[in-house]
Amino acid sequence: MSRRGLLIILSSPSGAGKSTLAGLLRTWDATLAFSVSATTRAPRAGEVNGKDYFFVTAPEFQKQVSDGDMLEHALVFGNYYGSPKAPVKAAIDAGRDVLFDIDWQGAQQIKNSSLQEHVLSIFILPPSIKELHRRLVSRGQDAPEIIEKRMQKSWDEISHWDGYDYVLINDDLATTQERLKTIISAERLRRSQQPDLVGHVRALQAEFGDMT
């Protein structure tokens, strides 16, 4: 029996582990498609258009938004970011799950979109604020002032935890990964994700009728 794909949203404050978990999920299931965002920022060294991002101009981006071609979009540090709808819908219709690594605002937009029935939203919490800060410092990617901005933003992100279908505390990476796999495996069997069920039940009904 065929199934529809899931639109899997992972959200968390920076440093809670959502990007690491997203990578582990794709290792677990190579069929998981990762949503490629569109952005108006300039490409960084080594980034490939269509693989890392769809790099577009601001007028092009705004036209896609006005035409309803973006599932979600936001202005972040002076640049627009968004998720094109067409490739996501094509993947879902083909039975492929699509993974999103986005914030709560993007998650809310997608949950209110035309694809809302396929959404599975999961929020990742850190075990503590102290540990969140330690992870941001230890990964060595940001200057101290950027880390401070991320920490200031973290509570705003955490305050929206109750808008998600599932919430996991990432105090142990391996345990959190296993819980994510369990959630996704179960949600793939959701009745709304199995379009052939109605036909199968009707066939059973007809077979039962032939026997009586």
For every one of its 212 residues, what pLDDT tens digit does the chain have, with 9 covering 90 and above? 688 999 999 999 988 989 899 999 999 999 999 889 999 999 988 999 998 899 999 999 999 999 999 999 999 878 999 999 999 999 999 999 999 988 899 999 999 998 999 999 999 999 999 999 998 898 877 788 888 888 988 999 999 999 999 999 999 999 999 999 999 999 999 998 999 999 999 999 999 888 87
3-state helix/strand/coil string of 130-144: HHHHHHHHHCCCCCH
15 DSSP β-pair partners: none
Would you list the domain boundaries of the chain? 7-35+95-211
Residues with Cβ within 8 Å of residue 4, at least 6 apart in sequence: 92, 93, 95, 118, 192, 193, 194, 195
| Domain 7-35+95-211 bears CATH identifier 3.40.50.300 | yes
CA distance 124 to 187: 18
